[in-house]
Amino acid sequence: MAVYINGAQAISPQDTFLNSQIPTDLKEYYGIMQSILPDFKKYFNPIEMRRMSRIIKFSTATAAECIKEADADSIDAIITGTGLGCLEDTQKFLNKMLDNNEEMLTPTTFIQSTHNTLGGIIALANKCNEYNLTYAHKTISFESCLLDAVLLIKEGRKNILVGGIDEITEENYNLRQHINQWKEEPFSNLDIYDCGTGGYKAGEGAAYFMISSQKTATTYAELRMIDLCYKFKNSGSLSEKIKDRLRSAELSPDDIDLVIFGFNGDRNTDVYYHRLKDTLFRNQDHGYYKHYCGEYDTSASFGMWMATRIIKQNHAPDNVILGDRKREKINNVLLYNQEDDKNHSFIVLSAC
Amino acid sequence: MVNRVFVTGLGVISAIGYNVAENFNSLKSKKHGIGKLDILNTVHRDKLVCGEVKMTNEELLRRIDLPEDTPYPRTTILAIHAAREACYDAGAVDGDSVRTGVILGTTVGGMDKSEKFYRRLNENTDFIQSHNCGYTTEKVADYLNLHNFVTTLSTACSSGANAIMLGGRLIRHGLLDRVIAGGTDSLSKFTINGFKTLFLLDPNPCSPFDKDRKGLNLGEGAGFLVLENERLSDNKKRYCILSGYANNNDAYHQTATSTDAKGPYLSMKNALEISNLKAGDIQYVNVHGTGTENNDITEGLAMERLFGGKVPLFSSTKAYTGHTLGAAGALEAVYSIMAIENNIVFPNLNFSKAIPDLALSPATEVIENAGIKNVMSNSFGFGGNEATLIFSKE
């Protein structure tokens, strides 16, 4: 049973919102990479404008545009993925609790701190009583949503809204500096590839997709495969494992025209991508995306947004491509992401 | 989809016991675990009662053979404790030789540790990495030596139930052969204060489904099931089948349930459809029954609508354990399975008068030989996230 992507919208640190193209004029960031936000007044009333945090706003607006674009008859499920959920509201409640020694607290930030707030608000806005789930597993939060969406399509549902959303705050950025997660500043997002140093750039964003059982006028691509693996420990080499996984989707490495890797600038993580790029996928085109959006738990959703444009236009801009172009037609794109040899994810999109 | 999903292992830790047998004995002898806090240090400790697990992290770590200084949040320690019991129970100790998934539900992940050290970074920075929800799932998988599939979900108070549902679906689709699925949450100042600001806490032991109910008590714990496919579970003890499940959204309000109980009604109705059962086939409902004004009336209305005049025996076990949030759905799945296994209905404590608008009274005494074949378990949460599971005798 084929599964299609009939809507794809993203808010990110680049000019991507409502953009049918992948921007080629990249915005440069030397520190934290925060999203470029649209005018939210179009999406929210004054009370919502005041109460809702940044992540709730950029998530909800992205979802609204994705729903509008796909123009589906129904929304049969809403699945959101977020590594850290509503960070700003969580911090606000936590700080106030610590400052005031657990007294004089108000509920709004607590209510809006839960991970499932994002999906709940979309259900509320669309009066959608259907299946609603939130995944919160680090770097596979978004991919878990995709996997679930494919199961739901096989179970007979038609249109599934799937999103990957995370925010970065100054406070969280400073906190994670204590465990050396970031590149030492100043460091440009345009320099992350093969930079030879540790740490990565902090990013954020929201990307929403309409995953559907029917091909329509707005279809970008077919979602051919979604697979996850926690660790490859004791189970053969990475290359063998990937071949295995591709085979289960009736694909071979040679069928893949473009591999989009999760290069994030941290040499310790990037070594796995380099290895594949030079061996199993040496005859394919290679690309990356985290210089656009930075690294965050659901950054793979931005990668998939990029892949929808590449497939639809049969073209990847120079900013995305690493090295020589070898393929004329981009039929199958593999997105591969992992986190320190943990939480490997494979997404294949195909032209249709 | 024809693959049936069997429950072959149970594990639980809560305020009423450190394992399945202890929880069962407490439930049967009406021994609740609600009282003053001894472990968690909050300024509210003298003004509220909770369902606290009365062992320190160090004591719990010893019980799972880990060094006392292992830097895990309490949420993680509770999860490993229950997951280990479930796997031993099922004999699911063969690591990666079986396609196994670990799926967990939790609400605030490692918050208990984050709130302790957030302003004491010079003492400890481990919490920065153990804060996220997925951390615990990976530690459970590592402890059990499983390296195949993990994921974590967070849907407030229905997290544990949704983890079990996803586990069952992955087996039905043939993607996994075995899933260790459950939920966990430890008490934290963050959640206690959050529920306090919403005026949802009863300062005294809660009284679910009572006319004069005043709110919920928070609790902590973890529950896990081992789910297996037909082939793997052949020739071993099968507690029951996970026969039905559903997830619906109330789409009404961030924290309150709709007055017509649409979400709760839909999740119960859809779970019945999946299980191919009729409303009359359910002998016992382990209700969400938090003891809040809003939950109990709407859950009651949804049951009246679904079951008509014939609402089956039902009870909330939250007056025993407190509301364990992300763990609740998993804990209560274990209790629902105990009800089938022992043909028993557990009482709903602290009930005296029925809610005027409902003609419903829960079971208030232990009922044995109750002919329990199909049990429904409800979990409803913030964000309108509703989930229902149905377990059936083979």
Q: What is the least distance, in Å, from the CA of A15 to any CA of chain B?
A: 29
**pLDDT tens readout for residues A312-325:** 999 999 999 999 99
Query: Would you say how long chain B is, in residues?
Result: 394
Residue A306, pLDDT above cutoff 70: yes
pLDDT score recorded for residue A36: 98
> Does the pLDDT value for residue A234 go beyond 60?
no
Any idea what the CATH number is for the domain that residue B379 is in?
3.40.47.10
Q: Is residue B255 located within the same domain as residue B289?
A: yes
- CA distances from residue B148 to A88, A96, A242, B95, B100 in whole angstroms, order as listed: 33, 40, 14, 10, 6
- How far does B36 lie from chain A, in Å, by closest CA? 17
User: What is the average pLDDT across A285-310?
Assistant: 98
CATH topology of domain A4-212: Peroxisomal Thiolase; Chain A, domain 1 (3.40.47)
pTM: 0.98
A120 with B382: Cβ contact below 8 A? yes
The residues near B69 (Cβ < 8 Å, ≥ 6 apart) are none
pLDDT at A277: 94
pLDDT bracket for residue A299 (50, 70, 90): very high
Which residue of B lies nearest to A172 if distances are taken between CA atoms?
B128
* Residue B272 and residue B228 in one domain: no
pLDDT for B137-170, tens place per residue? 999 999 999 999 999 999 999 999 999 999 999 9
Which overall architecture, per CATH, does domain A224-350 show? 3-Layer(aba) Sandwich (3.40)
Q: Do B133 and A115 touch (CB under 8 A)?
A: yes
pLDDT of residue B3: 82
Binary contact (A105, B193; C-beta < 8 A): yes
pLDDT tens string A160-173: 999 999 999 999 99
Could you tell me the pLDDT band of residue A238, with boundaries at 50, 70 and 90?
confident
Residues of B in contact with A343 (CB under 8 A): 150
Residue that terminates a domain, selected from B184, B200, B233: B233
User: Could you report the predicted ipTM of this complex, rounded to two decimals?
Assistant: 0.98
How far does B367 lie from chain A, in Å, by closest CA? 35
Q: What pLDDT score does B44 carry?
A: 97
Q: Say if B238 falls within a structural domain.
A: no
From the list A32, A146, A4, the residue with the least C-alpha distance to A79 is A146
Cα B36 to Cα A56, B40, B46, B328, B361, distances in angstroms: 37, 10, 7, 20, 28
| pLDDT number for residue A251 | 97
Average pLDDT of the segment spanning A76-101: 98
- pLDDT class of A236 with cuts at 50, 70, 90: low
Q: Is the dihedral of CA B353, B356, B359, B360 positive or negative?
A: negative
Number of domains chain B is built from: 2
C-alpha A34/C-alpha A58 separation (Å) is 11
DSSP run (H or E) holding B313: strand B313-315
- The per-residue pLDDT for A330 is 98
Amino acid in position B260? D
What confidence score (pLDDT) does residue A233 get?
64
Chain A residue with Cα closest to B168? A151
In a domain, B113, yes or no: yes
The stretches in chain B having pLDDT less than 50 are 1
- Domain membership of residue B299 as a residue range: 243-392
Same domain, residue pair B251 and B227: no
Q: Which pLDDT tens digit goes with each residue over B75-103?
A: 999 999 999 999 999 999 988 899 999 99
pLDDT band at A340 (very low <50, low <70, confident <90, very high): confident
Answer whether residue A237 shows pLDDT above 80.
no
pLDDT in the model for residue B2: 64
Give the domain-ending residue among B190, B205, B233.
Answer: B233
Which pLDDT does position B257 carry in this prediction? 84
The residue extents of the domains of chain A are: 4-212, 224-350
Helix (H) or strand (E) holding A238: helix A238-248
Mutate to test the interface with B, among A53, A230, A232, A245 (most CBs of B within 10 A): A230
